[in-house]
Amino acid sequence: MASFFVARREDPQRPKRLNPQIIGGSDSRPGDWPWQVSVQKDKTHICGGSILDSWWVLTAAHCVRKLRALPSVRIAVDSRMVPDALACTGLTVPTQWGREHKVAEVRVHPDFNLSTFEADAALLQVKPRIKFSQSQDPVLLPPDEEMDTSSWAPCFVIGWGVTRNEKRPAILQEVEVELIDWQHCQKWAPGITENMVCAGFEEGGRDACQGDSGGPLMCQGPNSESWIQIGIVSWGSGCGESRSPGVYTLLSKYVDWIKNSTSEAGKPYTPRRENTNKPSREESDPNSTPELMAIFRREMNQSVAESFTISGSCRIRAFLSMITVTWRILIYMIDE
Ligand code: ARG
């Protein structure tokens, strides 16, 4: 819990120590990134994604291109995501999975190229539609291709991808990164095209990694407190290494595709007219007592509510598997 209350902004000038969290990052605070989703196959996290509107989630093409069965999408509720496997171990970890949505349709960008990672973008149409709330809310897209976003700051990348010690974090990780000038980046990541953007630091240390793909790279534009998604986590050589920044699908190049493709599917992309999501770290002082109390209360309620749900569902599961085993033994004995 203590991690919620420490200031997490780091000074970009300071030499980076390699934290055990997702390549130099830290736990996000509940509700800070309400558009983040986990794209899952067989209830296992495979990639990140972001909520565009109530029908559409954006992710990377390489995450979903060869899935035979459609994936499902879980919204990150209060940034926690502990695998189901843990839920029946009797551990009293406060387990919170977000609401699960099925995927009705996968639309991979037609130009996606597996060898160059060009056009690494895909749209997932969810069902049922996502209902917005404090913990589920869409991200904003860049206005158009002409908009120069190269100097935007601060920028963050988030995800449940592997951390430095190769563990999967249960709490959504966030890390502040800087957009890197394209020409500069070409020297470090020669494979980039004009439809990609790099972010990170020359010295490395802070980056996305495996499992973060499909998730958003977001920046605050000038005169705006809203987070605008600039990129989709796509590729990189290693993770967090020096002169080897993360490479992202440059979203401004794909806004038209998003509009056309969603219209074609009969559910045109409908942006939220006004983004009321000011980052809560700016909005409120986490050290103020009411705020601390609110978070604390929320945490407590969740732990209590969740341990009931978990133990309930575990009992049912245990009961069902007992019946199955008894049935099998009976059949076996009859056969004998
Ligand atoms: N391709 C990876 C994935 O599927 C993401 C790699 C991002 N790498 C990086 N160094 N930023 O999750």
Give residue 277 CA to ligand 1 midpoint distance, Å.
Answer: 27
Q: Which residue is listed with tokens 């049912």?
A: 316
> Does the CB atom of residue 161 touch ligand 1 within 6 A?
yes
pLDDT in tens, 24-37: 898 998 889 999 99
> Any alpha helices (H) in the chain, and if so which ranges?
61-64, 84-87, 182-188, 255-264, 280-283, 289-335
Please state the length of the chain: 336
- Cα-Cα-Cα-Cα dihedral of 12, 18, 24, 27, to 10°? -120
Average pLDDT value for residue range 270-277: 63
The reply to whether 184 belongs to the active site is no
The reply to whether 120 belongs to the active site is yes
Q: What is the largest CA-CA distance in the chain?
A: 78
pLDDT in tens, 95-147: 456 678 999 999 999 999 999 999 999 999 999 999 998 888 999 999 876 67
Q: What is the pTM of this model?
A: 0.74
How do 44-51 and 100-108 pair as beta strands? Answer: unpaired
φ, ψ of residue 264 to 5 degrees: the values are -55, -35
Q: Which of 79-93, 259-273, 282-296 has the highest mean pLDDT?
A: 259-273
Give residue 213 CA to ligand 1 midpoint distance, Å.
Answer: 5
Q: Give every CB contact of residue 205 below 8 A, 6+ residues apart in sequence.
A: 16, 17, 18, 23, 24, 240, 242
Can the peptide bond before residue 154 be classed as cis, meaning omega within 30 degrees of 0?
yes
Using alpha carbons only, give the angle 231, 111, 254 rounded to the nearest 5 degrees.
35
Give residue 198 CA to ligand 1 midpoint distance, Å.
Answer: 12
pLDDT in tens, 306-326: 332 333 343 444 455 566 656
According to DSSP, residue 104 is labeled: E
The reply to whether 62 belongs to the active site is yes
